[in-house]
Structure 1
Amino acid sequence: MDLTYSPAAEEFRVDLRAWLAANIPARWAASGFWASLDEDEAFDLRRDWERRKALAGFAGIEWPVEYGGRGGSPAMAAIHDEELARARGPRSVNTLGLTFLAPTLMAVGTPEQKAEIIGPMLRNEVIWCQGFSEPGAGSDLAALRTHGERDGDAFIVNGQKVWTTSARRGDQIFTMVRTEPGSSRHRGLSLLLIDMHAPGVEVRPIRQMSGVSEFGEVFFTDVRVPASACVGGLGNGWATAMLLLSFERGASAIGQYTDYLRAFEEIVRVAKALGRDGDPVVRQELARRRVELECLRYHSLHVLTEVEQGRDLGFASSVTKLQWSQTYQGLFETFDELLGPDAALVRPTADVDLTALRRESFWTRSVTIWGGSSQVQRSIVAERVLGLPRGS
């Protein structure tokens, strides 16, 4: 495992850190700032800031220059995530497009799709959402029922998606549709790109326990979708979706480590404000979470070393997803235990505004589900990495 970065990567860190210092107002980094804003106001601020970051050359770090990226190394991408978290930069509003769709298009998209979609996505001119989950087809994606019937040079799409992140603000959606009549399970599926403003598309926000509406339901009623909006080949949707999802787990969790360390430090301050910092049980629990964070850090550096040396992570990427999600969720379980019954209340406690931390705590309940549940990840690691026999 290599714990150092190349001179070129460190030079990039210096440039990025300087840009972040000049472009993140101090009030943005204050605890609770983003939680204090109206959802739409926060979204617009983040969208414009990320656009400016892309124009300055600090987005798409590993992307080829021809697509508007920087053509950098995996180490530079890890430094980007680390410095962004350290500076408390705003969360991306276009994560689904940037993380999933863009690299998929680079790999299997048509020349027209690459030219028309990737650049505007990087500059946040077009916001993308993902339509995979359906009622009755969550973890079992192959059970989806949304279908598209061929009509000349288009598909007529009908169906429903649920738990669609950023559905209310999405301009486009990449979604799985059954395009072969009579097909079932993994056969006859296609990945289609659909305009969220097209006639027949309806979005209904889902209000979460935190009070925000990050998710939504999407209904398709006789939506006309050009056949050219198919990615990866007609009927080849399952393989395309697996390629797309392989980008989700990423090469390293350096950025997550930095972000979670910030949350840990805030939780320690809460313990002090509540007068619990002298409680030996609380201290032991906090120490355990700190150790888990350091384990995540060193695993992330190991993974980064592997990628930098050109090794394919393959199924071992499931270890990273499993580790960061469990570490993150565990950290906020400690936060909830610290507050006791008050953990479910979004209001100040002991003269400390915990709105942002409580919202984050609510959010962490989902991280061991999306992107492949922890149960699925453990099965992958057991069968594909450790070679254990499959249970009956």
Structure 2
Amino acid sequence: MDLSFTPDEERFRTQLRAWLADNVPRQWRSPSFWSTVSEAEAFELRRDWERVRYRAGFAGISLPREYGGRGGTPGMQAIHDEETARARVPHSVNQIGLTFLVPTVMAIGTDEQKRDIILPMLRNDVIWCQGFSEPGAGSDLAALRTVGVLDGDEFVVTGQKVWTTNAAHGDKIFTLVRTEPGSKRHHGISMLLIDMHQDGVEARPLRQMSGASEFGEVFFTNARVKVTDCLGGVGNGWSTAMLLLSFERGASGLAQYTAFRSQFDEIVAAAGAEQIDDPVLRQRLARRIVDLECLRYHAMHVLTQVEKGGELGAESSLTKLQWSQTHQQLWETFDDLLGPEATLARPRPDADMRSMHREAMWSRSVTIWGGSSQVQRTIVAERVLGLPR
């Protein structure tokens, strides 16, 4: 495992850090800022600022220049993720597409798909969302029932997706569809790239217990998509999805470590001296620090493997398990420290902790989406450790 970056990568860090200091609005650095604006306003603020970042050359760090990227190394991408988290830059409005779809397109997409998908996404001209889960097909994704019937050079798609991030803002959706009549389980599935601005596609928001509407549900009623808008080949949807999920589950942990470490400091500050002096709670805080440092070292291990040209494969499930459990346990410690006050949106008149309350609520979901912890443990047992079924 290599814990260092090259001189070129460190020069990139210095350049990026200086640019972020000059361009990230000062008010964004307050943890509570985003709780003071509406979801619609927050989306537009983030979208406009990301266009500024793209024009400055700080988007698509490790992507080839021919597709609008910077042509940097995996180490530069990791530094970018770490420094933007440190500067409290909000998540991209195109996070789903950039983190999961783009590397999949780069790996197995056609030249036309690379050209048509990547640059418009970097400029935020096209917002992508992901349509995997369905009612009755969540962790058991192979139970999906959305169907696509071939009609000439198009598929006619009918079905429903749920827990679709950014559904309300999505221009296009990459989604799993059963395109082979009568097929079962993992067979006969294709990953289709569907225009959401057409008759036959309806997106409805879903409000979460935190009050946010980040998710939505999507209904397809005879929506049409060209056969050429299939990623990975017709009938190869399951293997395409597994490749995409390896990028989702194995995404750089350095940004997560940096963000979680800041959250830890905020939790300690919010708890106050009386709670911190409790020896049992201090033990729990110490355990969280150990968890966070383990996450950092694992992130460097993964980055080392990527820089050597290795593929994440099933080992990406280890990353998903580690960061999601670490994040959830961190906010469980928040609950322990603040007690009943942790469940209130504004627990104290002298401290606006709405953002912390929302993060605590959100943390309940991270061990479910992207493959539940139970599913990830099964993958690790069978495909990494080689244990019998």
Which TM-score bucket, shorter chain as reference? over 0.9
Change (3 A) 1:155 1:10: same
Partners of 1:12 and 1:41 in 2: how far apart?
31
Note if 1:186 corresponds to 2:220. no
Structure 1 spans left out of the alignment, 5+ residues = none
Note if 1:3 corresponds to 2:3. yes
Residue 249 of structure 2 aligns to a residue in which SS?
coil
Partners of 1:107 and 1:25 in 2: how far apart?
35
Aligned residues: 389
Q: TM-score scaled to structure 2, two decimals? A: 0.97
Partners of 1:209 and 1:119 in 2: how far apart?
35
Measure how far apart 1:303 and its partner are: 2.1
- What is the aligned partner in structure 1 of residue 366 from structure 2? 367
Note if 1:289 corresponds to 2:288. yes
Partners of 1:61 and 1:160 in 2: how far apart?
35
Partners of 2:314 and 2:233 in 1: how far apart?
24
Partners of 1:173 and 1:52 in 2: how far apart?
25
Partners of 1:247 and 1:371 in 2: how far apart?
10
Measure how far apart 1:110 and its partner are: 2.1
Note if 1:202 corresponds to 2:202. yes
Residue 220 of structure 2 aligns to a residue in which SS?
strand
Structure 2 spans left out of the alignment, 5+ residues = none
Partners of 1:372 and 1:294 in 2: how far apart?
24
Instruction: After superposing the two structures, state which structure 1 stretch, 94-103 or 205-214, moved more.
Output: 94-103
RMSD: 1.4
Note if 1:138 corresponds to 2:138. yes
Do the aligned residues in 2 keep the contact of 1:251 with 1:307 (CA within 8 Å)? Answer: no
Instruction: After superposing the two structures, state which structure 1 stretch, 313-322 or 60-69, moved more.
Output: 313-322
Note if 1:66 corresponds to 2:60. no
Partners of 2:275 and 2:34 in 1: how far apart?
27
Partners of 1:242 and 1:66 in 2: how far apart?
27
- What is the aligned partner in structure 1 of residue 304 from structure 2? 305
Q: Percent identity?
A: 69
Residue 267 of structure 2 aligns to a residue in which SS?
helix
- What is the aligned partner in structure 2 of residue 159 from structure 1? 159
- What is the aligned partner in structure 1 of residue 17 from structure 2? 17
- What is the aligned partner in structure 2 of residue 43 from structure 1? 43
Pairing of 1:265-276 with structure 2 (within 5 A): 265-272=265-272, 275-276=274-275
Partners of 2:173 and 2:187 in 1: how far apart?
21
Measure how far apart 1:317 and its partner are: 2.0
Residue 191 of structure 1 aligns to a residue in which SS?
strand
Partners of 1:147 and 1:310 in 2: how far apart?
37
Change (3 A) 1:234 1:309: closer
* 1:98-129 deviation digits (Å, cap 9, x = unpaired): 11111222222222222111100111110000
Note if 1:96 corresponds to 2:77. no
Q: TM-score scaled to structure 1, two decimals? A: 0.96
Residue 20 of structure 2 aligns to a residue in which SS?
helix
Residue 248 of structure 1 aligns to a residue in which SS?
helix
Measure how far apart 1:387 and its partner are: 2.0
Note if 1:254 corresponds to 2:261. no
Measure how far apart 1:167 and its partner are: 0.3
Letter in 1 for 2:85: A
Measure how far apart 1:350 and its partner are: 5.5
Measure how far apart 1:358 and its partner are: 0.8
Letter in 2 for 1:286: L
Letter in 1 for 2:47: R
Residue 300 of structure 2 aligns to a residue in which SS?
helix
